[in-house]
Structure formats: structure tokens, C-alpha cells
Amino acid sequence: MMTSPSFAAKEHLNLAAKLADLKDDHYRILLALGALSELLIEKGLMTEEELEQKTAMLDVQLDALIDASLHPMA
């Protein structure tokens, strides 16, 4: 079944709008995370080193989880 050019154009426009929304959400999440991190450091509740260590640890764990899900028999 062929889709009409106008339908395909609408789908492309819809995808572009969704991508723009995701970019806006991503920006807002990063902004909130940055503000929260700075506040925790300023208040002495954590250090930059602790944040970096935790980030690195979570990155390794997430990489392992993703790898395991992509290669379940490995």
C-alpha cells in the first residue's frame, strides 16, 4: 500500500515536532540537573569528586546493562 506524498510530509513534520520537543525536554533536564548538582556542592552535601566518581560508576553500570541486553548469550 502506497502512502500519499501529503501523508509522508505530515509524518515528517510530526517527527520534526517530536524531535524539537525532545530537545527542549533534554535541555530542561540538563539545566535542572546542573542546578541541583551545584546546590548540593555549594551546601557541602557532596564534592565535585564524589559527583564525578558516582557518574563514572553509573556510566560503567549502564554500559554493562546495555551490553547485556544487546548480547544476552554472551
Cα 18–chain centre separation: 15
The length of the chain in residues reads 74
- At residue 1 the predicted structure's pLDDT band, cuts being 50, 70 and 90, is low
- The answer to whether the CB of 16 falls within 8 A of the CB of 22 is no
| Mean pLDDT value of segment 61-65 | 96
Q: At what angle do helices 5-42 and 48-70 cross, to 10 degrees?
A: 140
pLDDT above 70: residue 2: no
- pTM for the model: 0.66
Mind listing the pLDDT tens digit for each residue in 6-58? 988 999 999 999 999 999 999 999 999 999 999 999 999 999 999 999 999 99
* Rounded Cα distance, 22 and 31, in Å: 14
